[in-house]
Structure 1
Amino acid sequence: MIATIDVADIGVRSTMRSLRRRPGPGDVPGLRWLDVAPAVPLAGKRPPGLRRAVLLAMWDDEDAAATFTDTHPLARRFADGGFHAVLRPLRAFGSWPGLPEDVPRNRVTHHEGPVMVATLGRLRLSQTLRFLRASRPAERAAIDADGFLWGTAAARPPFVATVSVWSSDDAAAAYAYGDAQAGHPQAIARQRKKDFHQYSAFIRYAIVSTTGAVSATSPVPDVGRTSRPAGPTSR
């Protein structure tokens, strides 16, 4: 399985169009799952804006992902003024449509270089306040954590997600589990006590390749970047 994540300033009209017309697995060869949501700054208190959007997808293989990226109208909306990452799962916890059961579940991974982490949830709307009270401290802790490079949240309730980039898998693991009293472990404890979500997944990825930038800055160091030039960016 291969995943892709796109983050781009596509404008309000394109975001609305993308939210209304999201292809499913039966519409695109090799697609296992796809969703689009407006981006939200980590630990933000305001509702999602509609200028920046996040596209997350899971694929059978790199060829299917590349064909979609090169040819599909939805992907082309994200091509200019955005960031695109091709990812390989290192570990996962939980379940999600399109996520294979054979992805390793152990906490410890051995990978050199930066990693990307995605948290995905289908929120129980009755648990929204509990979720926000737990997730905001966890997101603030991420921003301040050693090895944190970049991140964003995304929300189109009941779908909620975060995407973050870390300097190493050790840094990502230390944030997630290192201090039981810190924001993220406390959020995990609250979820285990009473689940926020109908279903959810936490996935750590190796970065296969990246192109483009967000607000003129690449979220990922040059390791693994392809040579295709970035499109124009906006702040």
Structure 2
Amino acid sequence: MSVHSFHLARVPLRTAVGALLRPPSAPGLRHMEVLAGMRLGAPVVSRHRMRLRHLAVFAEWADEDALDAFLQRPFGRHLAAGWHVRLEYLRRWGAVRELDHLPAETGRTDPAEPVVAVTLARMRLTELPRFLHWGRPVERQVRDHPETTLALAAMRPPRSVATFSIWTSSRAMTAMAFGRDPGPTARLHHDAMAERARRDFHREFTTLRFRPLAEHGTWEGRTGILPR
């Protein structure tokens, strides 16, 4: 059965630029997105907005053996020195061409179990000002949500953007997405999605939901990032 993974690693600048320009290939690797990490909610003009040496890598593998073998290869060793989580695919909304083979869903899930959400989009560059206007408040909403244990964004110029978040439960994630949380910021995500439906920011967009299986390594001094 296929497995997905999400990696965070600090790598040499030359390695980062090379992987951003040309993602690596390997036996059993079905698709890989290499992106530069961003801090959610950071100012648009900021060294934290796109951190070239802090890579975020999202990949699909034929099986865990293929992932383990890749982590022994030159680029894989850089990822192995960071942090990653292995993921079981659950559900998809929207479509990005490289991920269209994934089924809409794989079955029912427990709303109380932890969940990982990954979004991937190909931007319409003419819509970037609107995207930033509506998106940055949502970034802060997700980053500061009490039910996330890790939330971040990433990008690969000129068009690819992604988000990654770990939630204590799918119930908490969907409550945020549909504006059911208390407080003045509760509807930020819901209203941004309504604006996207009115006039899309993206050429392609998908939201993917996963069950976290296991995490490995550390990230910025943190371990045990998955909810227990």
TM range (shorter): 0.7 to 0.9
Give me the TM-score of the superposition, normalised by structure 1. Answer: 0.83
Q: How do 1:1-235 and structure 2 match up within 5 A?
A: 1-23=2-24, 27-45=25-43, 46=46, 47-69=49-71, 71-80=72-81, 82-96=82-96, 97-104=98-105, 109-110=109-110, 112-157=112-157, 158-179=159-180, 182-218=187-223, 220-221=225-226, 223=228
Q: Could you list the runs of 5+ residues in structure 1 that have no partner in the other structure?
A: 224-235
Aligned length: 217
Task: Report Cα offsets for 1:140-170 as digits up to 9, x if no partner.
Answer: 1112323111111101121100111111111
Moved over 4 A (4+): none
Q: Is the 8 A contact 1:38 1:51 kept in 2?
A: yes
CA RMSD of the aligned region, Å?
A: 2.2
Shift of 1:9: 1.6
Shift of 1:65: 2.5
Give me the TM-score of the superposition, normalised by structure 2. Answer: 0.86
Distance 2:94 2:69 in 1: 29
Which piece of structure 1 moves more, 203-212 or 181-190?
Answer: 181-190
Distance 1:41 1:219 in 2: 20
Distance 1:204 1:177 in 2: 16
Distance 1:176 1:219 in 2: 25
Q: Would the alpha carbon gap of residues 195 and 147 (structure 1) be closer, same or farther in structure 2, given more than 3 Å must change?
A: same
Q: Secondary structure at the match of 1:55?
A: strand
Which piece of structure 1 moves more, 153-162 or 47-56?
Answer: 47-56
Distance 2:67 2:151 in 1: 22
Task: Report Cα offsets for 1:16-69 as digits up to 9, x if no partner.
Answer: 23223313xxx4222221121110001112241223111111223333223222
Q: Could you list the runs of 5+ residues in structure 2 that have no partner in the other structure?
A: none
Question: Percent of pairs identical after alignment?
Answer: 31
Distance 1:103 1:28 in 2: 27
